[in-house]
Amino acid sequence: MMLTTAPKPWFILLTLGRVSNLPTIWTNVLAASLFTQVMLGQGGNFFNALLLSRGLFVLLGMSLMYLGGMFLNDAIDAKWDRAHQVARPITQAWISQRAVYLFSYFLLLSGMLLLTLVGWVYLATFDGLNAGLSLFLLILLYNLFHKTWVYSRLLMGGCRAGMYLTAGLLMGGISGELIWVSMGLGLYIVGITLLAQFEHQAALFSYRYGVLLLLVLLLLFSPLYLVFFIPLNPLFYLILSGFLLELFRQLFPLIRGFISHKSLLIQPSDIGALLAMIPLFDALVLASVQQFWACIVCLCVYILLPKLQRWISPT
Dump pLDDT digits (tens) for 231-268: 889 999 999 999 999 999 998 887 777 777 666 667 88
Instruction: Kindly write down the DSSP assignment for every residue of 197-241, as one continuous string.
Output: TTSSSPEES-HHHHHHHHHHHHHHTGGGGGGGTS---HHHHHHHH
**Residue 1: per-residue pLDDT:** 44
Instruction: Kindly write down the DSSP assignment for every residue of 160-186, as one continuous string.
Output: HHHHHHHHHHHHT---HHHHHHHHHHH
Dump pLDDT digits (tens) for 185-203: 999 999 999 888 776 665 5
In the chain, what are the domain boundaries?
Answer: 10-311
pTM of the model: 0.92
Based on the number of CB atoms within 10 Å of its own CB, is 217 exposed (0-12), middle (13-18) or buried (19 or more)?
A: middle
**Residue 124: per-residue pLDDT:** 86
**Residue 166: per-residue pLDDT:** 97
Blockwise average pLDDT, block size 10, the chain, 315 residues? 71 95 96 92 64 85 97 93 85 94 97 96 92 96 90 93 96 92 95 81 60 83 87 92 93 78 74 94 95 94 94 87
How many whole angstroms separate alpha carbon 122 and alpha carbon 118? 6
93: left (phi over 0), alpha (psi -120 to 50) or beta: left
